[in-house]
Amino acid sequence: MPRAALLVACAVAATAAIVGGGVLALGTSDSRAPTAPTDAAGPAPFRTTALADYDTAGTVVSRGPFCEAVDARQVSAALGGDPASSSSWQNGDRIDLGNGVKDVGHEFGCRYAGVDGTVAQAWVFAPPVGAEEGQQLIKGAGQARGCEAGAGPPFGSPTLALTCTTKDGTVRASYRGLFGDAWLVCEVDRPPGATWDAADRAGRWCVGVLGAAGTA
């Protein structure tokens, strides 16, 4: 993939308050007066948002570091648990391009891995990308061996939803697209033997990435 690297829930419990009734004396008889109910609900549990339910139109993405702003709960949701390892890179860093090959990257990104082999990663190109170049990036990614373009929800314009299967059975679902002049990619690897919907989880991860890298 041109200039790109193939590198890389916490739930809040509801609480309940217990309130008791009081005794109110009226004349010579007692009666039970119900206590006004209190709000027993605590903070709402964290929920991710499907990409199809998120309007990406008008979103502006910065061509700069964003990983520190990614909500840790989004990472845990994408991995299905806490990360076992993580890494990040900046424009100009030497990064692994696959098969042990390293080169200077021109992007900002991060990668998180779970104990079961699930991987969530995202990156944005540092140089500006035009619409024509974006189309070329889409064409090149769609022609990669073992990959199939899908009819996923829009993620920038132009946009591509892609699912790739590696020789070992890993399913890599990704969304990539152009936001203004920023080319953004986010993807999730489903390890062999797992059966969850990789495209749906990747889309939800992309919404989390947009929450860190983009502004409406």
Number of domains comprising the chain? 1
**Residue 185: inside a domain:** yes
**Residue 86: inside a domain:** yes
CATH code of the domain covering residue 182: 3.40.1000
Poorest-confidence range of 66-70, 99-103, 177-181? 99-103
Q: How many CB atoms lie within 10 A of CB 156?
A: 24
Give one word for 27, left, alpha or beta, with left for phi > 0 and alpha for psi -120 to 50: left
At 107-145, the pLDDT tens digits run 999 999 999 999 999 999 999 999 999 999 999 999 999
**Residue 126: inside a domain:** yes
Diameter of the chain by CA atoms?
90
**Residue 7: inside a domain:** no
At 59-94, the pLDDT tens digits run 999 999 999 999 999 999 999 999 999 999 988 777
What pLDDT is recorded for position 44?
A: 82
